[in-house]
Amino acid sequence: MALDLVKTLSDLVALPSVNPMGQLVSGPEYFEHRVTDYLEALFKSLNLPYQRQTVEPMRDNIVARLDGQVPASEGGPLILFEAHQDTVPVVGMTIEPWTPVVRDGRLYGRGSCDIKGGMTAMLGALARLAEERPRGMPTIVMACTVNEEHGYSGATALTKMWSQAGSVIPRQPDAAIVAEPTQLQTVVAHKGVVRWRCRTHGRAAHSSQPHLGINAIFKMARVLEALERYQRDVAPTLGEHALCGRPTLSVGTITGGLSVNTVPDGCVIEIDRRLIPGEKPDDAYRHVLEYLAREIGSDPAIEHEKPFLIGAGLLDRVNGPLAERMVTAAREAQIECAKIGVPFGTDAAAIAGAGVPSIVFGPGSIDQAHTADEWLALDQLVQASEALYRFGRTGLQ
């Protein structure tokens, strides 16, 4: 059956699937299970074998298989389509996040761009291929994963499925296309990331007698000044990738203190170090810590926790033939498509790390992802689905 792309995207946006981003929160908008249930019903309606894989409570990957002319279990080619089910939180949004609205050729709502639009494009292509069963079609596995926005654990769990007996994925895929907002360009390389928390410890006292305390925020100020120097003077010297640029460092959050009239005994920041493809996350983490030790000395009151998020970059070493085929399929769909690199991370790195050549492709721009009025251009939704359909007809041939 053919899918109505706008209706399908509207349905998906209307189902909250917020990633708690590591916070201890609760509420009806959190976790991906509503989207997973919707996808299960859709795969049933397409008469496709499917499997749910629990990653965490209320957080299941779901995978469906459309067998090609020669099933992958019998040696035929196998292509993986992958999209994540989760969205970022909705705090600060200026539109109703779960009420999809179509206006001026755009569909508004949380997840419309990142990445339920890309998921819908893949589902639309899959439905067309399931109805037509074109000669020469490879087996296509559609995987909808959890927790992309805070750790890639869904994609990591997915890579274990093709080595498990009885899995709906009969063997390791030959190639993977990962949905993200790429403006219909073919991403062959992207940055990785390592994130961690730094804590400074002090001693509380009344603010009228600050000499009796140790101000943890003042201690953190020294750390922050050193990190700013690292971003400005050191990170740009650590290498460059032709498509992704240079490494970067950013401090994204800071918390500390109980009240203005109390000397703070604690302060916490979260550090984001972006990696160029080929950089090792552990090495990048250690490099920053060693730099700080040289700059501000050893201080037991300054504590760096182990990273809470690690994601490698996507290398453009082995995905060349796959990328060329995707570019060709996009151009057949009247898309001006080129091979590019991007600064953000995706599930593609986890899949490529398991030995599957991977690229990233989808409708929408990263400039609209996570925004207060997130939207997707519907013409790109249609174009993306057409390109994926054309790719899926023949796969890598």
Task: Name residue 214's amino acid.
Answer: I
At the fourth CATH level, which superfamily is domain 5-190+313-394? Zn peptidases (3.40.630.10)
Q: Where are the domains of the chain?
A: 5-190+313-394, 192-311
Secondary structure (3-state) at 233: helix
Q: Are 359 and 319 in contact (CB under 8 A)?
A: yes
Tell how strand 205-206 and strand 266-275 pair up: unpaired
d(CA 369, CA 181): 8
Low-confidence residues in the chain, pLDDT < 70: none
d(CA 160, CA 149): 20
pLDDT of residue 24: 87
pLDDT of residue 127: 98
pLDDT of residue 116: 98
Q: What is the pTM of this model?
A: 0.95
Task: Name residue 102's amino acid.
Answer: V
| Start-to-end CA span in the chain (Å) | 25
CATH, domain 192-311, list 2.60.120.380, 3.30.70.20, 3.40.190.10, 3.30.70.360: 3.30.70.360
pLDDT of residue 213: 98
pLDDT of residue 129: 98
